Amino acid sequence: MSAAESKTHTAVQTVVPKFGRIDSDLSEVEQAISRSTEYVLSLQHPEGYWSGELEADAMLEADYIFLHVLLESGDPGRLQRAYNEMMRFQNDDGSWSLYPGGPGNISLSVKCYFSAKLMGRTADDPRLVKCREWILANGGVVACNTFTKMYLCALGQYDYDAVPAIPPEIVLFPNWFYFNIYEISAWSRSILVPLAIIYAKKPFKKIPAEQGIDELFVGGRTNSVLRLRIDRKKLFSWRNFFLICDRITHLSERVHIRPLRKLALKRAEKWMLARLEMSDGLGAIYPAMMNAIIALRCLGYSEDDPQVIRARDEFEKLGIEQEATEEIPEPTFRMQPCMSPVWDTAQAVYALGEAGVPRDDERMIKAVDWMLSKEVRHPGDWCVKVPHVEPGGWYFEFNNEFYPDTDDTAQVLLALKQVDNPRERYQYEVSQRAIEWEFAMQCRNGGWGSFDKDNTKMIFQYIPFADHNAMLDPPTVDITGRMLEMLAAYGYTQDDKRVKKAIDFILKEQEPDGSWFGRWGVNYLYGTFLVLRGLEAIGFDQHEPQVQQAAEWVRMVQNSDGGWGETCGTYDDPNTRGVGPSTPSQTAWALLALLAAGDDRSDSIAKGVRWLLTHQLENGTWDETMREGIRRESIITGTGFPKVFYLAYTYYRHYFPLLALTTYKRAMERAA
């Protein structure tokens, strides 16, 4: 943690709220912008980038323990600290949740219970008793998702024959075939290919009986052989088709009729090894990196093989040691799901540029040069659907050459516009390559997905192992809204057919109440803010009913304290959209949405700005944690996979409020 970050929670800003309209005197806003600007600049790494910690749920620590027990590796002290961290997040009812304040999750709770037993806790431990009661009341182990069951199989706690098959032969399907691996999302692809190797090799490590979890099966362990049943009411359905394929695959496994298995494993190994190059581990995301380590060992790679060593090193880099504090009396060790330097740097540079940091400031130029060094110049998975296009764009992490994404690329392009780089010609060429790549990635319906083009075959959701709810990467309005904002910054208008198609896509996706769904941020506040920003930038008339209806929805869901908030629960129950405790990042999104809709004078705007001003800390930033000053208890405003995995971007509370206050100040100055 940096010195600046350590001061984040020291004291709340003591500005006494004034009554009356804020726009009568912008001095408070200007002072808040100045403090925020200095704070964001103080977080810049000497190399030029920003990178905030990504926080997620306790699954990361549970899986960390599982991995090292399976491979008989790891530092015992670190494993104990990971256990300490995991246990901090157990709910009062005994379960674990995907996000703070959320309901218990069966797969996560089983993982945490099992990891606790692997760390020596016994079944009569009061905390495990409570967890076991909750798990049994919610269906037991058989209610877990496929990924969880696969991990349990490796330690003898579930039967491979009862898990949906993930045969490595899927990598042999040609790219033109309807069911090839490039028709599933990039993140699922990087997770599933090594998992298919694991399924084929079926690793098994016997553990002591007292560490087992037979007690988590409702009615006994025999229930572990239960399989998904064919729906006899709808015999001719994709679900039944895939279930029949699954049964056939299991039968071939039992009788060892697998003529293509050796070839499939070689192809999967080659695919995986290629993507371990020029990256921070496979896919540069936690589950794929962990699966890759296990897959390499299953393939016979030794512990001292360079591939295994490097894969392990990249995985361990995601870890953060935390010393004991007054609030957390035991030292802990936590894992990040990945790192976000390109994303955070692009967001920070853009917000700072909008806030008035000089375009030739050395710190800004250093940040831009760092981003330019991360440009993708190597063909990746996206090339399968977009051939004959020069590589360009950016990824999310430090290194992930095979997986640039459209969202990071759009945000980097927005950031580049904020700086006068001495290497003007070079920056221009990089930008043009990236814009052409972005256009090539536009989907048929006018929107943009994140990593792939037209990744929309809904039948993949019926595959038995697709119960992690992340098989597809369809176009989304939040990315498309950011794309419109970026294209406008580079001179594109509604006269461009591709822009017009994007606008049509966005308008068709609007919800009946006026909001837009947020795929990559929580949730409708995020989607609505990005859509309205994009529409405003591209010159869409602010008086159009779609815009004004969206603005009215934002005003309608404002909290009584003047801020805005929304929880991850809105993905499960859309009727609760816009409902949640006020947070700095979501309040900023709401203000940016209203300002983009032309609303700069309403009471909603004034109250929202006042909320940000009165909640700013003395050092210039904002707090966004469940309990002030406690790390790893941030309110979740980022989305990994809806209903499955959520993220807290710890720097969102720094740069989004800055952008909102700056945008408000400019609106007031224009109106003066």
Which tens digit of pLDDT belongs to each residue from 650-670?
999 999 999 999 999 999 999
pLDDT exceeds cutoff 70 at 195: yes
Please report the pLDDT score of residue 328 as a whole number.
Answer: 83
**All structural domains of the chain:** 1-42+514-672 (1.50.10.20), 59-335 (1.50.10.20)
pLDDT exceeds cutoff 80 at 579: yes
> What does R_g of the chain's alpha carbons equal in angstroms?
25
Give the max Cα distance, the chain. 80
Residues above pLDDT 70, as percent of the chain: 94
Please report the pLDDT score of residue 470 as a whole number.
Answer: 85
Mean pLDDT score, 116-134: 97
Q: How confident is the model at residue 10 (pLDDT cuts 50, 70, 90)?
A: very low
- The closest alpha carbon to 567, from 53, 145, 103, 57, belongs to 103
CA distance 153 to 202: 8
pLDDT exceeds cutoff 50 at 15: no
Mean pLDDT score, 447-467: 91
3-state secondary structure of 616: strand
Residue 161 φ then ψ, to 5°: -70, -20
| DSSP one-letter string for 631-661 | TT-BPP-EEEETTTEEEEETTHHHHHHHHHH
CA distance 328 to 169: 48
pLDDT exceeds cutoff 70 at 38: yes
Please report the pLDDT score of residue 229 as a whole number.
Answer: 64
Q: How confident is the model at residue 7 (pLDDT cuts 50, 70, 90)?
A: very low
CA distance 616 to 612: 6
Please report the pLDDT score of residue 9 as a whole number.
Answer: 38
| DSSP one-letter string for 407-430 | HHHHHHHHHHTT---S-HHHHHHH
pLDDT exceeds cutoff 60 at 18: no
Lowest-confidence pick of 217-231, 333-347, 374-388, 420-434: 217-231
Residues 47, 374: contact at Cβ < 8 Å?
Answer: no
Q: Which residue has the higher pLDDT, 468 or 207?
A: 207
CB neighbour class for 141 (10 Å; exposed up to 12, middle 13-18, buried from 19): buried
| H or E element, residue 54 | strand 54-55
Catalytic residues: 407
Mean pLDDT score, 240-267: 89
Q: How confident is the model at residue 468 (pLDDT cuts 50, 70, 90)?
A: confident
3-state secondary structure of 488: helix
Q: Which residue has the higher pLDDT, 231 or 80?
A: 80
- The closest alpha carbon to 486, from 533, 523, 553, 442, belongs to 533
pLDDT exceeds cutoff 50 at 644: yes
CA distance 154 to 532: 48
Please report the pLDDT score of residue 6 as a whole number.
Answer: 41
Average pLDDT, the chain: 92
CA distance 585 to 590: 9
pLDDT tens-digit map of 527-557: 999 999 999 999 999 999 999 999 999 999 9
CA distance 547 to 563: 21
| DSSP one-letter string for 269-338 | HHHHHHHHTTBSSGGGSHHHHHHHHHHHHHTT--TTSHHHHHHHHHHHTTEEEE---SSS-S-EEEE-S-
The span from the first CA to the last CA of the chain, in angstroms, equals 42
Please report the pLDDT score of residue 271 as a whole number.
Answer: 98
Residues 563, 585: contact at Cβ < 8 Å?
Answer: no
CA distance 467 to 142: 13
Q: How confident is the model at residue 632 (pLDDT cuts 50, 70, 90)?
A: low
pLDDT exceeds cutoff 60 at 144: yes
β-sheet with 645-649: strand ranges across: 54-55, 645-649, 638-641
Please report the pLDDT score of residue 482 as a whole number.
Answer: 98
pLDDT exceeds cutoff 90 at 182: yes
Please report the pLDDT score of residue 19 as a whole number.
Answer: 37
